[in-house]
A and B are shown apart, each in its own frame.
Chain A
Amino acid sequence: MEKDLAVKTRTGVIDCDVHHAVPSMAALYPYLSERWRDYVKEHNIKSLEPNYYPRGNPLSARPGSEPSPGALPGSDLGLLQRQVLEPWSVQYAILHCLYGVQMIHNEDLAAQLAQAVNDWQVAEWLEKDSRLRASIVVPSQNPLRAAEEIHRVGKHPGFVQVLLLVRSEKPYGKRYYWPIYEAAEQYGLTVGIHAGGVTGYPIMPVGWPSHYIEDYVSHAQAFQSQLISLVSEGVFVKFPRLRVVMMESGFTWVPSLMWRFDKNWKGLRREIPWVDRLPSEVMRDHIRFTLQPLDEPPKPEILLKVIEQMGSDEMLLFSSDYPHWHYDEREEALPAGLPVDLERKILFENARAVYRF
């Protein structure tokens, strides 16, 4: 089956969401300035592992993805090559480093750590395997400094995207964040919004939930909010070449959001006159979604219906979401029963059209 897939795709799969991990804070020491290296040591900051996928939680890591007992899944290049790049005959894999940089309240420290993580990504990953690409980690606490970081590393061909986390301090459409989009657009980078982020606001607009499952399932709402904000505030009018990729957002909610958004735009568009066409059209042109974790309808044909209702077969990008555990057999990452053309689009064509490989 894995071989089948490789034959099917020939040019190789593009995996748009793979996670590598900073093994420990010490791994970043070589990339920190002396002042901040000592700061981190003296404050005994051992890790900024954000715990979005708590250890021991069954979604968190596929069995066998720990490089050694106790080591973080995704922290070893060799294992990642063997478990993702080779079996999938991956042409490109886009790495997303989920590290707690965006959660730190001291923006100077956050900016330093973002730099360190990016330099670490270049040295330890991008320069070691030409199939790897990565997202630039930015201190989104301060969008101007985030833009500076994009300018610092944006020309490196290994970076194809800027990483933001879906839980933000303000809705991402706000002009406050525009320096990030301006810089991303300038270098032809997409903006990838990934699940996660901790800002002090509850994931649910109604208050704090009690359980991990509530937090996990509610993420779709946060993505919807960001999407509504990005379109309404006119980000894609201001930055017409910008594309936003939503990662781990799910996408089966997209048709109903499009319908609701379009319907209300017809009556309320005077508030946002720069949105001069249906919001669903803007979404089709500018928003993409990674495949896994998939909201899996009970029958494959329902999924096809959803894609039909999205009104575009160009919005979905293949992702394994390695090492997170959402499906058992590797080939199940791609849902069964898709027409061959659509499979090709999801597996690599759509990604090629969006990212600057």
Chain B
Amino acid sequence: MKKYVVAMVDEIAPGQRKIVEIEGRSIGVFNVHGAFYAIRNRCPHAGAPLCEGVVSGFVTSKSPGEYIYSRQGEILRCPWHQWEFDVKTGQSYFDPAKTRVRTYQAEVEAGCSLVCDDGTGMAKGPFVAETYQVALEKEYVVVVIE
């Protein structure tokens, strides 16, 4: 398990995303109502950069003409053929069991805990060295790669 610091928390506002590169993989990190989710930026259908798609809600219905709109900000739509994926689980709408995208654990960690870490389990993410001067009083988004 390796952890990568990918952004400062206030860099990705709610509803926004940041696409980062970790170990040669493109990964989208999404802020959904204050919580962070990381998902592979590659659509299982034809390989589109999935994380560049529209983030929207989930539209369902019990009867024609009736629209139930829920989970706003949690449904990612592929920019190419508009398949819908759950940002939180990577599952597709129409085939949740088989058509899914890899997700990764994303979490918020205090600069203090990152700096105080004595090296166990903490790899230097692409941005740790170049971009982020980890400050004790700030919070960071960390993606965990198994």
Q: Does B64 contact A (CB under 8 A)?
A: yes
**Is A266 in contact with B94, judged by CB distance below 8 angstroms?**
yes
**Is B82 in contact with A273, judged by CB distance below 8 angstroms?**
no
Q: How far is the CB of B65 from chain A (nearest CB, A)?
A: 7
**Is A269 in contact with B93, judged by CB distance below 8 angstroms?**
yes
Q: Which residue of A lies closest to B82 (CB)?
A: A267
**Is A274 in contact with B61, judged by CB distance below 8 angstroms?**
yes
Q: Does B83 contact A (CB under 8 A)?
A: yes
Q: Which residue of B lies closest to A173 (CB)?
A: B64
**Is A175 in contact with B94, judged by CB distance below 8 angstroms?**
no
With A267-B81, A267-B82 as given contacts, are A273 and B63 in contact (CB-CB < 8 Å)? no
Contacts of A175 in B (CB 8 A): 64-65
**Is B83 in contact with A233, judged by CB distance below 8 angstroms?**
no
Q: How far is the CB of B35 from chain A (nearest CB, A)?
A: 24
**Is B65 in contact with A273, judged by CB distance below 8 angstroms?**
no
Q: Whole-angstrom distance between the alpha carbons of A265 and B83 in the complex?
A: 9
| Majority secondary structure of chain B interface residues (helix, strand, loop or mixed) | loop
- Chain B 6-38 per-residue mask, 1 if CB under 8 angstroms from chain A, else 0: 000000000000000000000000000000000
Contacts of A278 in B (CB 8 A): 94
Q: How far is the CB of B100 from chain A (nearest CB, A)?
A: 14
Q: Does B98 contact A (CB under 8 A)?
A: no
**Is A233 in contact with B59, judged by CB distance below 8 angstroms?**
no
Q: Does B133 contact A (CB under 8 A)?
A: no
Counting chain A residues whose Cβ lies within 8 A of the other chain, the interface size class is: 10 to 19
Quick one: which of A234, A265, A269 contacts B63, CB cutoff 8 A? A234
Q: Does A237 contact B (CB under 8 A)?
A: yes
Q: Whole-angstrom distance between the alpha carbons of A93 and B44 in the complex?
A: 50
**Is A273 in contact with B67, judged by CB distance below 8 angstroms?**
yes
Using a CB-CB cutoff of 8 Å, which residues 261-312 of chain A contact chain B? Answer: 265-270, 273-274, 276, 278
Contacts of A352 in B (CB 8 A): none
Tell me the number of A-to-B contacts counted with CB atoms below 8 Å: 42
Contacts of B63 in A (CB 8 A): 234, 237-238, 274
Quick one: which of B64, B67, B93, B94 contacts A237, CB cutoff 8 A? B64
Q: Which residue of A lies closest to B99 (CB)?
A: A266
**Is B64 in contact with A234, judged by CB distance below 8 angstroms?**
yes
Q: Does B120 contact A (CB under 8 A)?
A: no
Q: Which residue of B lies closest to A277 (CB)?
A: B94
Q: Whole-angstrom distance between the alpha carbons of A44 and B65 in the complex?
A: 46
Q: How far is the CB of B20 from chain A (nearest CB, A)?
A: 27
B contacts with A, residue count (CB < 8 A): 17
Question: Known contacts A266-B81, A270-B82, A273-B61; can you find 17 more A-B pairs with CB under 8 A?
Answer: A175-B64, A175-B65, A233-B64, A234-B63, A237-B61, A238-B64, A265-B94, A270-B59, A270-B84, A273-B60, A273-B67, A273-B68, A274-B63, A274-B64, A274-B66, A276-B60, A278-B94
Using a CB-CB cutoff of 8 Å, which residues 178-206 of chain A contact chain B? Answer: none
Q: Which residue of B lies closest to A238 (CB)?
A: B64
Q: Whole-angstrom distance between the alpha carbons of A238 and B63 in the complex?
A: 6
Listed A/B pairs (10) with beta-carbon separation below 8 Å: A175-B65, A234-B64, A237-B64, A265-B94, A266-B83, A267-B82, A269-B94, A270-B59, A273-B61, A274-B63
Quick one: which of A237, A238, A268, A274 contacts B82, CB cutoff 8 A? A268
Q: How far is the CB of B46 from chain A (nearest CB, A)?
A: 11
**Is B59 in contact with A273, judged by CB distance below 8 angstroms?**
yes
Q: Whole-angstrom distance between the alpha carbons of A274 and B62 in the complex?
A: 6
Q: Whole-angstrom distance between the alpha carbons of A175 and B93 in the complex?
A: 27
- Chain A 32-63 per-residue mask, 1 if CB under 8 angstroms from chain B, else 0: 00000000000000000000000000000000
Q: Whole-angstrom distance between the alpha carbons of A289 and B33 in the complex?
A: 50
Q: How far is the CB of A170 from chain B (nearest CB, A)?
A: 15
Contacts of B66 in A (CB 8 A): 274
Q: Whole-angstrom distance between the alpha carbons of A237 and B65 in the complex?
A: 11
Q: How far is the CB of B144 from chain A (nearest CB, A)?
A: 31
Contacts of A265 in B (CB 8 A): 94
Among B67, B78, B94, chain A packs the most CB atoms within 10 A around the CB of B94
Q: Whole-angstrom distance between the alpha carbons of A266 and B80 in the complex?
A: 12
Q: Whole-angstrom distance between the alpha carbons of A222 and B8 in the complex?
A: 58
Contacts of A270 in B (CB 8 A): 59, 82, 84
Q: Which residue of A lies closest to B92 (CB)?
A: A266
Q: Which residue of B lies closest to A237 (CB)?
A: B64
| 9 A-B pairs with least C-beta separation | A234-B64, A267-B82, A273-B61, A274-B61, A273-B59, A267-B81, A270-B59, A274-B64, A273-B60
